[in-house]
């Protein structure tokens, strides 16, 4: 008998899934959801993106190397999986086709 696959809710330390058509941030672990939501709300209209230090502060984290690098690695992972965009200046932006998830 084949093993049964059980889908679990995302948790900290979980793998970041590829962003596909119709994907919502609900597929991401909470820390990743916060980063995507921050960029989508802060840069909703237009902007030059946010640096990692700016994101760290706006996420309410202490501005120390360990926290900054944690945010940087998560943001880069989100870029690799298509959830965010990275500008040549090193600043992060929401992906071009992203729109904030609406919960009603």
Asked if the model's pLDDT at residue 5 lies above 50, the reply is no
Average pLDDT over residues 37-54: 86
Average pLDDT, the chain: 82
Asked if the model's pLDDT at residue 44 lies above 90, the reply is no
User: So what's the pLDDT on residue 102?
Assistant: 38
Q: Which fold has domain 25-93?
A: Arc Repressor Mutant, subunit A (1.10.10)
User: So what's the pLDDT on residue 22?
Assistant: 81
Strand partners, 84: 94
Rg of the chain over CA atoms, in angstroms? 15
Please enumerate in sequence order all residues whose Cβ is within 8 A of that of 74, keeping only pairs 6 or more positions apart, or say none.
31, 32, 35
List the domain boundaries for the chain. 25-93
Predicted TM-score (pTM) of this structure: 0.76
């Amino acid at each position: 008998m084949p093993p049964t696959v059980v889908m679990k809710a995302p948790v900290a330390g979980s793998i970041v899934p590829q962003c596909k058509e119709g994907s919502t941030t609900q597929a991401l672990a909470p820390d990743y959801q916060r980063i995507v939501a921050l960029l989508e709300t802060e840069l909703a209209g237009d902007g030059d993106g946010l640096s990692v230090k700016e994101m760290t502060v706006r996420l309410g984290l202490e501005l120390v190397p360990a926290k900054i690098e944690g945010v940087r690695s998560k943001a880069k992972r989100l870029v690799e999986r298509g959830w965010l965009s990275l500008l040549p200046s090193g600043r992060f932006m929401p992906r071009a086709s992203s729109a904030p998830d609406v919960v009603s």
